[in-house]
Chains A and B, each alone.
Chain A
Amino acid sequence: DGGITQSPKYLFRKEGQNVTLSCEQNLNHDAMYWYRQDPGQGLRLIYYSQIVNDFQKGDIAEGYSVSREKKESFPLTVTSAQKNPTAFYLCASSIPGTGEHEQFFGPGTRLTVL
């Protein structure tokens, strides 16, 4: 089955610790995205990557970092600089440049800072 997997489903972190969220896709999509979802605020774009070894900041990149070393993987690191990291994190992918703008989403990771 083709799709996007995110792990872990639930993650707990102590204040001051960095944590990395995994996102893997086997859809052969070039573009990948990370969103943060908070109650009442919809989805906000953190980072996106349209091709391997290249990525751009989204609207709320401060306190986050990413890498795109492989087409199928786009891990997100939540650093200790992120002041309010407790949220639901969603990874998505799409095929850019084809006119098909649908983004396919993973199941999400719920991060809680203790």
Chain B
Amino acid sequence: QKEVEQDPGPLSVPEGAIVSLNCTYSNSAFQYFMWYRQYSRKGPELLMYTYSSGNKEDGRFTAQVDKSSKYISLFIRDSQPSDSATYLCAMGGFGNEKLTFGTGTRLTIIP
């Protein structure tokens, strides 16, 4: 079993829809959680970073963490064609600088 599981998609939704992206994990040592966005043939860029259970909002993006269920989500409101990309979840434990990544979900927003 992989430490981090992420649905690879692909996921296609119409413009303006709410998108939900999810990851589950098995390692209880993971204490901080990130979402990266990666456009085709580019390096990933950090979208959201959180280390506590609950919600964190930044504009149209909301990151949700449920440590008791070992489940994290990224919600995108009012999705735009420019949101079309691959979204990677990543997580790590304090005292360990290494990140463990999910496989990524490829998202397409249809105009």
Contact = CB atoms under 8 A, between A and B. Distances in A.
A42 B101 contact: yes
A108 B98 contact: no
A96 interface: yes
A70 interface: no
B45 A105 contact: yes
Interface in A73-94: 88, 90, 92, 94
Nearest to A97: B97
Interface size class of A (residues with CB under 8 A): 20 to 34
Nearest to A110: B41
B101 A43 contact: yes
Interface residues of B, number: 24
Contacts of B36: 105
Interface in B91-105: 92, 94, 97-99, 101-104
A88 B4 CA distance: 21
Interface string B8-46: 100000000000000000000000101010000111111
Interface of A: 4, 31, 40-45, 48, 50, 58, 88, 90, 92, 94, 96, 99, 101-108, 110
18 contacts: A31-B97, A40-B8, A42-B6, A42-B102, A43-B44, A43-B90, A44-B101, A48-B97, A58-B98, A94-B97, A101-B49, A101-B92, A102-B34, A102-B49, A103-B99, A104-B46, A108-B41, A110-B41
Given A42-B102, A101-B97, 11 more contacts: A40-B8, A42-B4, A42-B6, A42-B103, A43-B44, A50-B97, A88-B41, A92-B43, A101-B49, A102-B34, A103-B99
